[in-house]
Amino acid sequence: MSTALIVLAAGQGTRMNSDLPKVLHPLGGAPLFAHALAAGAALDPARAVLVVGHGADAVRAAAADYDDTIAIAEQSEQLGTAHAVAQARAALDGFAGDVFVLYGDTPFIRAETLMAMAEARRDHAVVVLGFEAGDPGRYGRLVMDGARLDRIVEFKDASPEERAITLCNSGVICADADTLFSLIDAVGNDNASGEYYLTDIVGLANARGLSATAVTCPEAETLGINTRTELAAAEAIFQAFKRAEALDNGVTLIAPETVHFSHDTYIGRDSVIEQNVVFGPEVTVESGARIRAFSHLEGCHVSRGATVGPYARLRPGAELSENVHVGNFVEIKNATLDQGAKVNHLSYIGDASVGEATNIGAGTITCNYDGVFKHHTAIGARAFIGSNTMLVAPVTVGDEAMTASGSVITSDVPEGALAVARTRQDNKPGLARKMFDRLRAQKARKQKEAK
């Protein structure tokens, strides 16, 4: 049976007190809606539809960045969840299979939970995800009759007896596409809010003789994000999960509570991550690497045996081969460092390639930007770049070449050559002493005048 996803992401999220649409607030470096799509990916969906509304253009652009195959449906008026799902009908035209309705502000639904719902769909027309709530509060209640789900009652419309029920509705629903949209066509808005509730399809299904049931999951999976406080709590949950996952996969975390992961961080076994390291999106660290304290990595690849930091920054496009050393206060951007290369202190290497076993001295800068264009610096294998060298791109330094400390390199350096690009030193005997005497006298006069 093929599967499709509908992710509802049209709400304004007024309690976030933000100009940014709620589903675009980041969790683990990815917008909230992306987490729902990631969970649904385990179902190998044939189609995915994101229903947008508030901030539609921004959400549409973010969805295209995440996956340009996602279809977009717009809910111009927010008239309830059934109305939101109905907007996805055109995008699923001709689709025959199960449809899962997920929520862009509910990031922790597990793939295993969705698989359990898919299994239950074999025997029931409609499957709802529920949870036992510690404090049911204003959640909708699932009214069960044995294994049969009789109806879902919104809190506003519930009787005192129904409000006493602790089995609550997560909002996640699965049904065959034809059944889902047929039931939605019959949903009315005769309720306390005047909205079209998706939850009404359960009662309608039963009235048609179609079976409905509920699958349950831990309450923590159903956490929805409505405020920045809840977003912060969700980030803490996410980070705790990623740290535990890394430890279970054989990664050493020196101070786990200080390491910050992104949703797609990959770290190989036997790597060591020291304290206060931040992983932005799109980072891969291979087995046996060491990321030292206070380093920040994003959009980069670190190979086996490499060492990064402390206090290093790897920016997008940084590619470190095996046994590369990147040291303290070094920044690497859109650059490839071949095996055994070393950039140990206080340097910037951007838009560059560095050959194997090359040593980059302290204070080296690849001057890659002319104010309009970026230019490339190519440094060969086993070269030695002297401290405080400025490499003005585009420029090439050959294999086994050397630059003298303090040089400004504006022309290519041939293989095996030594480049010296600085003026000859000229010592002026006694001039330093005379200058200091004059300056001290000026200072003394100013201090006397100030009294």
Indicate the pairing of strand 167-176 with strand 98-103.
Answer: antiparallel
pTM for the structure as a whole: 0.89
CA dist 187 and 199 (Å) reads: 9
Which pLDDT score is estimated for 157? 86
pLDDT in tens, 152-191: 998 888 999 999 999 999 999 999 999 999 999 999 998 8
CB 238 within 8 A of CB 264: no
- Is the distance from CB of 276 to CB of 42 less than 8 angstroms? no
Show the DSSP H helices in 186-308 as ranges: 200-207, 228-248
The pLDDT value recorded for residue 398 is 98
The question of whether 296 is a catalytic residue gets the answer no
Amino acid in the structure at residue 43: L
End-to-end CA, the chain = 91
Domain 228-419 is in which class?
mainly beta
Q: What gap in Å lies between CA 129 and CA 109, rounded to an integer?
A: 10
pLDDT at 78: 87
Q: What's residue 167's pLDDT?
A: 96
215-230 as b/e: b if 16+ CB within 10 A:
bbbebebbbbbeeeee
For residues 390 and 408, give the distance between their C-alpha atoms in angstroms, rounded to a whole number.
Answer: 5
pLDDT for res 321 = 98
Tokens of 11: 């709400």
The residue length of the chain stands at 451
Q: What is the pLDDT of residue 60?
A: 96
Beta bridge pairs of residue 323: none
State yes or no: cis peptide before 45, omega within 30 of 0: no
User: Would you kindly state where each structural domain of the chain is located, as residue ranges?
Assistant: 3-222, 228-419
Q: Where are the alpha helices (DSSP H) in 216-330?
A: 228-248
State pLDDT tens for residues 249-265: 999 999 999 999 999 99
**What stretch of H or E contains 193?**
none
Residues facing residue 337 across a β-bridge = 320, 354
Q: Which residues contact 449 (CB under 8 A, 6 or more apart)?
A: none
Say whether domain 3-222 belongs to CATH 3.90.190.20: no
* Residues paired with residue 279 on neighbouring β-strands, in sequence order: 297
Contacts of residues 56-63 at CB distance under 8 Å and 24 or more positions apart, as own/partner, are 56/10, 58/20, 58/21, 58/24, 59/9, 59/21, 59/23, 59/24, 59/33, 62/24, 62/31, 62/33, 63/33
User: Quick one: DSSP state of residue 361?
Assistant: P
* Active-site residue, selected from the candidate residues 54, 345, 375, 376: 345
What is the C-alpha separation between 179 and 107, in angstroms, rounded? Answer: 26
Dihedral (CA of 83, 84, 85, 90) sign: positive
Q: Based on C-alpha coordinates, what's the Rg of the chain?
A: 30
- The rounded Cα 345 to chain-centroid distance in angstroms is 29
Residue that the structure tokens 């293989």 belong to: 415
Q: In whole angstroms, give the CA distance from residue 17 to residue 15.
A: 5
- Which ranges of the chain have pLDDT less than 70? none
Looking at residue 156, its pLDDT comes to 87
